[in-house]
Chain A
Amino acid sequence: MKWIRLGSLFFLASLLFFQSCESEPYAQGRYIYEVRCSNCHLPDGRGLGKEIPSLHKSKASPAYWSCLIRYGQSNTIEQNGVKYIRNMPANTDLTAADLTNLINFIQNEWVEDSQFVALDSVNQWLENCPQG
């Protein structure tokens, strides 16, 4: 009886654990997004018209994003045929791990057919940034 009780408790606990992980993947990325990005790109990621680009269905590569988010860009950014004149601010305090989490969150949330991005890849891309 004792083992059955313990076993079922463990089973329930692991269900809860996996449930929470499943329902909130990339929670760290979400947090970074909410604190650092949602002001401009808005909580739903849709940006503001042609002033601030939407992150939905972005065709930009995670390599491009790694450098863009880390170093910002002050000249015109072109996306999906629209030229955005505003600056993308730099976020040099975000670590490679932060960037990995953030990019995974954004892609998982808003970019279909995107693939999981690993920390090693982000580290490599950051070493080859044109801006860096």
Chain B
Amino acid sequence: MKSLSKVIWVFFFLSALIFTSCQSEEKKLPIIGHKTIEGTDTTYHTIPDFTFVNQDSQKITPATFEDKIYVVDFFFTSCPTICPVVKSQMLRIYEQFANEDRLLFLSHSVDGRRDSVPRLKVYADNLGVDAERWHFVTGDIVEIYDIAEDYFSVAKEDPEAPGGFDHSGRLILVDTNKHVRSFCDGTDTEDVDRFMKDIEKLLDEMDTAR
């Protein structure tokens, strides 16, 4: 009897230990990208300035995203490969966070020739999304290709690629400080599920920062 109660106590103690350790606080999202440290100052990878125009001919700059977090991708409207799948996943995110004003969406077109503002307007309307929350932008094509790198995405003209453009299906999450905090493969449902949890984490972070 004595050894049995000892076993029970040990078991109880061990399971309490395991249980509490599993409930440890979830870590914050990392800040992705190269960082430089000078003395006590750390400079993180930051999205640079940009000026684009959206489907309503509104000028879109970093100021558009002040105090907001946003999801980024690169696409073109006549894309025959990954874009419809990536867009349908983005729509899933958009609908999931339909009432979240702090989350915006920024889709860059990599096709400067065919994706004019009117075409982007039709595209956005066809997807049934609100232009105040989801910006479809065009602009100086070199600026778009360059900024793709800052978003850790690929975007360039390639006559050999289907549709004529080579671009990644990546979705990137940017915080209120223009830092990249998460990304996922927009063609992978499970990866997008994980990405949506990261969006929640970032929104929670905004809550606690207030």
In the complex, what distance in Å separates the CA atom of A47 from the CA atom of B91? 12
* B142 at the binding interface (Cβ < 8 Å): no
Nearest A residue to B162 by beta-carbon distance? A39
Nearest B residue to A52 by beta-carbon distance? B84
Are B127 and A39 in touch, CB under 8 angstroms?
Answer: no
Are B123 and A51 in touch, CB under 8 angstroms?
Answer: yes
**A42 contacts which of B78, B85, B125 (Cβ < 8 Å)?**
B85
Q: Chain A 44-55, CB within 8 Å of chain B: the 1/0 string? A: 001111111000
Are B84 and A89 in touch, CB under 8 angstroms?
Answer: no
In the complex, what distance in Å separates the CA atom of A89 from the CA atom of B82? 16
Are A42 and B88 in touch, CB under 8 angstroms?
Answer: yes
Are A85 and B85 in touch, CB under 8 angstroms?
Answer: no
Are B84 and A50 in touch, CB under 8 angstroms?
Answer: no
**A48 contacts which of B82, B125, B127 (Cβ < 8 Å)?**
B127
B interface residues, tally (CB under 8 Å): 16
Are A39 and B126 in touch, CB under 8 angstroms?
Answer: no
Task: State how many angstroms separate the Cβ of A57 from the closest Cβ of chain B.
Answer: 19
**B82 contacts which of A39, A43, A86 (Cβ < 8 Å)?**
A39
* B contact residues around A47 at 8 Å (CB): 84
Are A40 and B80 in touch, CB under 8 angstroms?
Answer: yes
**B85 contacts which of A39, A50, A51, A86 (Cβ < 8 Å)?**
A39
B59-93 interface (Cβ within 8 A of A): 77-78, 80-82, 84-85, 87-88, 91
* B39 at the binding interface (Cβ < 8 Å): no
In the complex, what distance in Å separates the CA atom of A22 from the CA atom of B70? 46
A-B CB pair tally, cutoff 8 Å:
38
* B128 at the binding interface (Cβ < 8 Å): yes
**B127 contacts which of A40, A49, A85 (Cβ < 8 Å)?**
A49
Interface positions of B (Cβ within 8 A of A):
77-78, 80-82, 84-85, 87-88, 91, 122-123, 125-128
Q: What is the size category of the interface that chain A forms with chain B?
A: 10 to 19
Interface positions of A (Cβ within 8 A of B):
39-43, 46-52, 85-87, 89
In the complex, what distance in Å separates the CA atom of A113 from the CA atom of B8? 64
In the complex, what distance in Å separates the CA atom of A87 from the CA atom of B79? 11
Are A42 and B84 in touch, CB under 8 angstroms?
Answer: yes
Nearest B residue to A84 by beta-carbon distance? B126
* A contact residues around B85 at 8 Å (CB): 39, 42-43
Are A39 and B81 in touch, CB under 8 angstroms?
Answer: yes
Please list the 3 inter-chain residue pairs (A to B) with the smallest Cβ-Cβ separation, ordered nearest first: A50-B126, A51-B126, A49-B127
In the complex, what distance in Å separates the CA atom of A41 from the CA atom of B81? 11
**A49 contacts which of B78, B80, B81, B128 (Cβ < 8 Å)?**
B128
Task: State how many angstroms separate the Cβ of A81 from the closest Cβ of chain B.
Answer: 14
In the complex, what distance in Å separates the CA atom of A85 from the CA atom of B91? 21
Most buried by B among A47, A85, A89: A85
Are A48 and B80 in touch, CB under 8 angstroms?
Answer: no
A-B contact pairs, 27 of them (CB 8 A): A39-B80, A39-B81, A39-B85, A40-B80, A40-B84, A41-B84, A42-B88, A43-B85, A46-B88, A48-B84, A48-B87, A48-B88, A48-B126, A48-B127, A49-B91, A49-B126, A49-B128, A50-B125, A50-B127, A51-B123, A51-B126, A51-B127, A52-B84, A85-B122, A86-B77, A86-B78, A87-B78
